[in-house]
Amino acid sequence: MKNSLNLKVFGVAALAAASLVTDGCSSAPDLTETQAQALIQAKYDATAPVGANVLVNNQGMLDGITAKYWTRTTIYPNKYWADFTLTPDGKKVLSLVGGGDVIKWRPDSATDDKYSIVVVTAAANHLRAHDVTNIQDEVLPGASKAKGATFTESVNLDGVPAPLASIAHNVGNKLSNKRQADFVLDGGAWKLQSIE
C-alpha cells in the first residue's frame, strides 16, 4: 500500500513536471513596445519613400503666395475664383495632385473657409511609427501566437522647406493617425503581420 501511494505521488509529480516543461516550450518571448516599434518602423523604411499630402486652405494659399510658390495669373468676375500658377521655386518643392502647374481655386463663395486643394511635397520620406501601446494577446487565423498593439503613425516632413511645412500645420491637415499593428510568432521571434 505504501509503495502504491509513493508511486501515485511520484506519478503526479512527474505529470506536473512534464506540464511545466511543455508550458515552458510553448510560451512566447515578450514583445516589448520598443521591439514592436522597431518592427513597424522597419516595414515603413522598407517601403518606397513618398511625398506628403498637404491640404492647402485659404490661409495656405496666402502663405504660398508669400513664399513665392505660386502667383495669381487669373481672377474671375465673381472675384473669389482664381487661377494660380506654380513658380519655378514652387515646382522645386511641391507638385499638384492632378498634375500640371495651375491651381484652379474654386470656393463656393467669397466666405467659403472650407475649400481647399491638396499638394504633394517634393521631399519624399518614410512614415514614422511612435508611441506604441496596448500590446496584448490576439487570435489571428493560422497563427499559433499573436499580439496586437496600437501606435501613432506620423508624416515625416524632413527636407520640406519651412514655409511649406508651416502650411502643412494649418487647420485641416492631419499629420498623424492612430493605427493597429498585428504580430505573429514565427520561428521563436515576433514578426509584423499587418498594419490596419
Residue closest to 82 by CA, chosen among 94, 73, 95: 73
Predicted pLDDT of residue 99: 93
Q: Which residues pair with 109 in a beta bridge?
A: none
Render 73-141 in DSSP notation, one character per residue: EEE-TTSS-EEEEE-HHHHHHEEETTSSSEEEE--SSTT--S--EEEEEEEEE--EEEEEEEEEEE--T
**Is residue 6 pLDDT above 70, yes or no?**
no
The grid coordinates listed for 192 are: 509584423
pLDDT tens readout for residues 61-113? 999 999 999 999 999 999 999 999 999 999 999 999 999 999 999 999 999 98
Q: Is the dihedral of CA 68, 70, 73, 79 positive or negative?
A: negative
Nearest to 191 by CA among 74, 87, 17, 42: 42
Mean pLDDT of 171-176: 93
> What pLDDT, in 10s, does the model give residues 182-193?
999 998 899 999
CA 104, 165, 96 angle in degrees (round to 5)? 25
Reported as a pLDDT band with limits 50, 70 and 90, residue 143 is confident
Q: Which three three-digit cell numbers place residue 53?
A: 499630402
Q: 45: helix, coil or strand? A: helix
Q: What is the pTM of this model?
A: 0.77
Residue bearing cell 490596419: 196
Instruction: Give me the pLDDT at residue 26, please.
Output: 54
pLDDT score, position 14: 44
> What is the predicted pLDDT for the residue at 10?
45
Q: Which of 117, 121, 125, 130 is nearest to 162 (CA)?
A: 121
Query: Domains of the chain: which residue ranges?
Result: 29-195
pLDDT of residue 142: 83
Q: How far apart are the first and last CA of the chain?
A: 63
Contact of 188 with 29, CB cutoff 8 Å: yes
**Nine-digit cell at 134?**
496596448
**pLDDT tens for each residue of 12-48:** 444 444 444 444 445 678 999 999 999 999 999 999 9
Per-residue model confidence (pLDDT) at position 25: 47
